Amino acid sequence: MNAKIILAGTLSLALVSSASVAQQSLTGTVVKIDRIHGTVAIRQTQNGTTGANTGGSSEEFKAQAGLSLDALHAGDRVTYSVAETAGTKTITKLDKK
């Protein structure tokens, strides 16, 4: 019985930890916007590097319902938060720098 309680506690802690990591604020550069499908591709800025945004790959995200992409353009530097649900990464917060 105690083993089940410990296992359940460990699993819930792991879920909470991964959710908080997913919600951390990230920084990057917009490389592509698809307003029709509500997606945006962002190249994440590497932490602790000089001359950030040199090379690197971009990742495409779905914009959360109600999140406007109208004022966003390729090349804009942004801060953003991402949540993953059922394998789909969704931007939950997006601010232009």
Note the pLDDT of residue 75: 97
- In which band, very low, low, confident or very high, does the pLDDT at 24 lie, cut at 50, 70 and 90? confident
Under 8 Å between Cβ of 91 and 82: yes
Structural domains in the chain, CATH included, are 25-96 (2.40.50.320)
What is the rounded average pLDDT for all residues in the chain? 81
Residue 61 has a pLDDT of 97
For residues 61 and 30, the answer to whether their CB atoms sit within 8 Å is: no
* C-beta separation of 96 from 71 below 8 A: yes
Q: How confident is the model at residue 11 (pLDDT cuts 50, 70, 90)?
A: very low
The strand pairing partners of 43, in sequence order, are 29
